[in-house]
Amino acid sequence: MGHIRLGSLPQSKRWRAVVDLLKGDSDLVAIADAAALASEADLRRATSDPLFQFVSALLVHLPLWARAPGYDGALRDIGADPDAARSVTGLLTELSGAIDAEAFRSGRTSDAGELAKAALLESLSVQLQARVPSLFDPTPQEVRTALGSLAHGKNFALLARDFFARLTYRSLDYYLSRELALHTGEGKRFASDADRVAFQSDLAQHAYEASRIVEEFAAGWYGKTVWKKQQLDQEAINRFTAYAFKKLRDELGRRRTSS
């Protein structure tokens, strides 16, 4: 099976700028912006990656399927067993398997697709658990209703923000984590593993705060594209994800200049 890898950033001039920031005393905002700038081309290419597109289509379509009569059939079409997807855990397991099966069918896996897969499953878990009864195990209908509630503009915006925040963090950490290990130890940027982990936690929070820009436009995009135009093809979803990356990249840069 072929494997599409994200670019080799450590060889680039922009990445060397990130390393220089890590060697100095630059703050997290500057490092996050520099890392985002260095990885910009790879993230742009990710939106045209078939496995990434499969995951991004699930992000948009799943809530709509849950509201429609053909929900079980839609799950079967992507290779998920609707009978096994009656709980939140079961649904996430089936979606994970469907994404893996799509990679197998195409004969190619991709780092971009795997990062998006992890971000989607985490986001759905958080959003669904917040919407199902907490005292008892939710019924299959309650799980489906919770998923369908994400088809409302405001709720989809929350899901989209969560997804892109996690995806942005995972993308930055994909590159940074290897470099951070080289700057951990006595006399280095991070005196201990705990310091490095704290930095990564702060980076995740920074990505979430920056992702508010996605929430602000996702609701409008969803309402206009889904409910008014009713033209939710893959090309429309690709434009949405590409624009979300651009907005996030711009916001990370804005935060650096204003800090």
**Residue 1: pLDDT band with limits 50, 70, 90:** very low
Across 231-255, average pLDDT: 88
What is the per-residue pLDDT across 182-219, written as a single tens digit (0 to 9) for each? 899 998 999 999 999 999 999 999 999 999 999 989 98
Task: Answer whether 0.75 is exceeded by the pTM.
Answer: yes
- Please determine, for residue 4, whether its predicted confidence score (pLDDT) is greater than 80: no
Q: Which residue has the higher pLDDT, 26 or 121?
A: 121
Q: Which residue has the higher pLDDT, 97 or 245?
A: 97
- The whole-number pLDDT of residue 126 equals 97
Instruction: Decide: residue 244, CB within 10 A, 0-12 exposed, 13-18 middle, 19+ buried.
Output: buried
CB 151 within 8 A of CB 203: no
- The whole-number pLDDT of residue 259 equals 65
What is the per-residue pLDDT across 9-65, written as a single tens digit (0 to 9) for each? 556 788 888 888 988 888 999 999 888 888 777 777 778 889 999 999 999 999 999
Spell out the SS3 assignment of the chain: CEEECCCCHHHCHHHHHHHHHHHCCCCHHHHHHHHHHHCHHHHHHHCCCHHHHHHHHHHHHHHHHHHCCCHHHHHHHCCCCHHHCCCHHHHHHHHHHHHHHHHHHHCEEEHHHHHHHHHHHHHHHHHHHCCCCCCCCCCHHHHHHHHHHCCCHHHHHHHHHHHHHHHHHHHHHHHHHHHHHHCECCCCCECCHHHHHHHHHHHHHHHHHHCHHHHHHHHHHHHHHHHHCCCCCHHHHHHHHHHHHHHHHHHHHHHHHHC
Domain boundaries along the sequence of the chain: 8-258
- Please determine, for residue 109, whether its predicted confidence score (pLDDT) is greater than 80: no
- On average, the pLDDT of the chain sits at 89
Q: Which residue has the higher pLDDT, 8 or 155?
A: 155
- Please determine, for residue 3, whether its predicted confidence score (pLDDT) is greater than 70: no
- The whole-number pLDDT of residue 166 equals 95
